[in-house]
Each structure stands twice: as C-alpha cells, then as structure tokens.
Structure 1
C-alpha cells in the first residue's frame, strides 16, 4: 500500500499552484523578495506569502532569509533547477503550436465576371492551394448583376465583379482599376490606321456588353456613347467579355474592352486600338461578399487573405504589364 508520504506527494502534484513555483523562480533569479516583487508587479508581502505557502506545501525550507541573509537551501536548489526547465518548456508552447500546420479543409465558391486577369488572384490561388491542399474551389462565370443577386441570397463565398453602386446587404472592396478602350478587328476599315479622329467613329456599328446601359454596371460606356453622339447600330451584345472580343475580332463592329485584357490581341494583330487614346471610361472591378454569410474555415481564410493582399498591393501593380506591338 502507498505510504502517507506517497499520498502527500500525489496530492502535491495535483494541487501545486504554478504561480507559486514561478514566484519562487523569480525570487531566486532576482536574489531577493523586494526585487522579485518589482519584477512581478506584486507587493512585497504578497511575494513573501507565496514563498511561505510553497514551503508549507512542500514541507521544506527553500530559502534561508532574515537578518540580512538570503541563501537558497539544497532543496531550493533542486526545485529551482526543475522549475526553470519546466518554465522553458511552457515558454515554447506558443512557438510549437504556431509551427503546426493548420490543416484547413472546405469548399470555396467564387462568383466572377468573365476574363478577370490579374496576377494577384492567380498567385493567391497557387499559394493557398500549396498551404491548404484539402480545400476545393469552384469558379462560376456570370454577369455582375447575377453575382449580386447570388451573394444577397448567400450563394457563394465571394464575388469578383463590376459594381455601379453599393448593394444592400453586401460589402465591397475595389479589386482592380481598369480602363476601357475602343477596338476594331482586322477586317474593319479602320484597322491599322493612325491619326483617326473620334468623329469618324460616330456612325460605326457597335458591339458592347449587355450591361452597357444607363442603369447597368457598365453605364460609363453608355454615357460615353451618348456624350459623343454615337449613332451607329448596336449589332452585337453579350454579358461575356470573351464573346464581345469575338464579335469585334470578327468585324461586326467597333467595341469596348479593358485595355490590359486587349493588350495581347493588339500585340498579335487581332485588335486595333481606336481613339480616344486615354480610353473611354475607368471602371473598377470589386471584391464583393455578404458579411452575414455563414462561412466555413476555408472560405474565411481565403477571403481574409485576398483582402489582405489587396490592402498590401497598390492598384497599379495588380494588373499585368501592357504589351503592344512596336
């Protein structure tokens, strides 16, 4: 049967207060009660009482004090050595936990307008997948208005789309600044010409987006045409940027595209930029999300990282470098 001493030791390991051990360690390190009290932001009587309680629980005197003397006893030396080792292990807990890879899993659904071209999103997807390979993604391409409705209905993690004005219930952040410019295809009579006056464009057939309306997400395009007196027919439209590009390249009419998106086609001779040289409208793409959405860990992590990247990178660095033919 266990002895009384063994029972006492068992009770000691269960009831011992770590704060008493830490106070004792600091007393020894500081070489006195007064200095220990200052380091611990405690009163001197509180530190003395803590030492007394520890000695009573252990049944040993740990420090000889009084009459100007301060000496750690043999029992105190043994205890101090052990406490320092334990304290070192406890101090490493935070670093050890931080070093453990947090295995996030879940599904992220991104609702996006067509042809969003930015290295920021590409790099984030790449790095996020490397860190959290259990996370799955789905990217749905749809018109901006459909993105807004879906997010209001709490469908999807976030949207990357056009936003003419704030949407009730949704929060947004500017993702990229882009400039729209007019282009024509190789079969158009203006292809390859320089020094074109904008007046020459006013009666040309036009291709544009379905949201190129006064009350649409691309209303600046409609306002530009109205201001400049464009009177040509709208012969083609789509909500998809790739299809607008197709209609322009095929020669149905002149039409608007984001300058950084069209740069590659200009360089390869598929499109020709038309006046005005400064573009016809600056239009921002936004990150949009529903703050009332019930997000899983993967969704919260991805949205947090995306917003952090946006805040850390100036807008002019979020687009690819424009490349034109010499």
Structure 2
C-alpha cells in the first residue's frame, strides 16, 4: 500500500468497523457478534467486508464450520485492543490529573468471592486513602478476562483455565468444591452415603461446568465417577446455583468455605466424597499495558504483596491475614 493510500486510510478508517471486527474475533463468529452488538448478521458481515476492503487484506477466513483469524487479522486485532483500551481510559486519565493522588478503582469479580483477605485489603485501603472510590462488578469469569484485556477494569478476581493473552496474573486463593443438597432433597441428613448414591440424582451446576470451561475439573470428576446425571439447572452465578440446591432442584457443587455457614444453619448438607471433588483456583488479573491512576497502581501492588507474603494455605486464616494487614498499614 502506497504512502498516500496509508495516509488516506488513517484519515477515513471507521472506528466502528474496527470495533465490530474486535467483537467478531472475541465471539469467534459473526452470528454471536451480531447478538452482542445488537445488529443483524448481514450488517456485521458487511462491516467485516468493508474493513477487509479498506485494508486490502483478508482478516478472517470463514466457511462451513470453519473460522480462522489470519496472520493479518491477528496483527489488527492486537492493535484494536490497544486502541479500545486507550479510548476507554480517557476519563480515568483526566480524573487522575484532576484528583492527584485519589482515583477510581473498578474491580471485576466472579460471583460470591468469599475472602477475608480481600475484605481486609478493601477496608484498610479505604481507611488509608479515603478519597479513593471503588466500583465492584460481578460477571462471568470469561467476561472478566475480556474486560481486563480491553483495559476497562482495574483488577479482575476470577477463575482461569488458561492465562488470557496480554494480561498478568497471580494465584489468589484455592477453593475446594464439594457436592451438596438442600433440606427438601431425600439425601439430606443421611450420613451413610457413598458416591454410588449420587449416580442418577438430578444435578445443578455452573454454566462453565463443562469440558473446556473454567470449572472443567468438576466435569472431569463427574465423568470419571460416572455421575452423568441429568442437569436440571445451571447458572453463571454462584448465588443462583446455591439457590437451586437449597430449593431441592438437585445436588450440586459449591466451594466448601462458602457453604460452611449454610451447613451450620441447616440449609445445605454435604455429600460424598468427604475430601471434596476438585480444587479450583481463583486468580488476580491485571493488564500491565493499561494506563492506571495512582489508586489503581497502589491497590494492585497491595494485592501482589499479599500473595507473595502470605502462604496459599493460610489465606483463609483470619489471624494470619490480620497480622499481615496490620504490618502493611501500621505506619499509615
């Protein structure tokens, strides 16, 4: 492409075409991209064609059952992510200049993250920096990955099967999942149960409890043990999975430390195996390429310091957490 053509392209390229292309890649298809963008499928296909025509390159190879981002498409996608992230940060950058050392922190979390460590960090950080504002949004782990890639969130706390590209991560805590049933279920209160008693029972779980999902260890365990029960309910939200279990729709998995209070209150009953089903890791995610305000940088550094200093097996230990938090903020 000649220099004059490149200059003309830079002046006239439509950002909406780039955004549409970005969503097509993220959704791995035109149909799903059209749904997310609230557009028709032909409109999305036409936008992709216009962008490819303007660039003079094929960005996505499509056919029956085939979807592949070309080498040129991968290059453009990486650049579009950078552009999108920078544009989305304009408000943060301006606010940071105006507010000096204060700032806004947006934290994206998977549902029902129970962590004394996270709670104490929020508490002490706010007490030390009262001008900092927070926004906590709950969403599916896959959406957290995308948002951190696009730099629309400061920090993600979520499940992760494989590290998403362009982000850094640290293991925050390890949850042990176990099967439970509610008080209306015929297995409730029984202590003489084995895994064999669970076979054939109706099942509720998370939408990511499938091969390739972030909760695939649960799927593998059920397959290995022959617990291929009919799934009667599913949700991306832990609270809604818990609701279905308590309501008696079926047995289902929950993190053991989350379910402890419900077990004590008689709302849930733990089922075999006693050693639990599978450990599932919760990770911290952040984007090192994001232009962050001082509050964001300070909070992420606090989180990183916590996971480096507190052993993994003691991050549910309130005494160990409180002692570390006290040392971190004693001079403040």
TM-score bin, normalised by smaller chain: 0.5 to 0.7
Whether the aligned pair in 2 keeps the contact of 1:202 and 1:231 (CA below 8 Å) is yes
Aligned to 1:214: 211
Aligned to 2:164: 167
Whether the aligned pair in 2 keeps the contact of 1:237 and 1:244 (CA below 8 Å) is yes
Aligned to 1:24: none
DSSP 3-state at the match of 1:207:
strand
Matches of 2:238 and 2:174 in 1, distance apart? 16
Aligned to 1:263: 260
Aligned to 1:55: none
Matches of 1:257 and 1:122 in 2, distance apart? 20
Aligned to 1:179: 176
Once the two structures are TM-superposed, the CA of residue 314 in structure 1 deviates from its matched residue by 1.4
Aligned to 1:230: 227
Aligned to 1:29: none
DSSP 3-state at the match of 2:135:
strand
How many residue pairs get aligned? The number is 220
Whether the aligned pair in 2 keeps the contact of 1:260 and 1:320 (CA below 8 Å) is no
The structure 1 segments of at least 4 consecutive aligned residues displaced by more than 2 Å after TM superposition are none
Aligned to 2:287: 290
DSSP 3-state at the match of 1:244:
helix
Deviation digits for residues 182-213 of structure 1 (CA, Å, limit 9, x no counterpart): 00000000000012010110100000000001
Establish whether residue 194 from structure 1 lines up as the match of residue 191 from structure 2.
Answer: yes
Name which one, 1 or 2, has greater alpha-carbon Rg. 1
Superposed CA RMSD in Å reads: 1.3
Aligned to 2:306: 309
Matches of 1:273 and 1:279 in 2, distance apart? 9
Q: Which TM-score applies when normalising by structure 1?
A: 0.66
Q: Which TM-score applies when normalising by structure 2?
A: 0.65
Ranges in structure 2 where 5+ consecutive residues have no aligned partner:
1-99, 319-332
Matches of 2:314 and 2:264 in 1, distance apart? 21
Deviation digits for residues 248-291 of structure 1 (CA, Å, limit 9, x no counterpart): 00000000000000000001100000000111100010001111
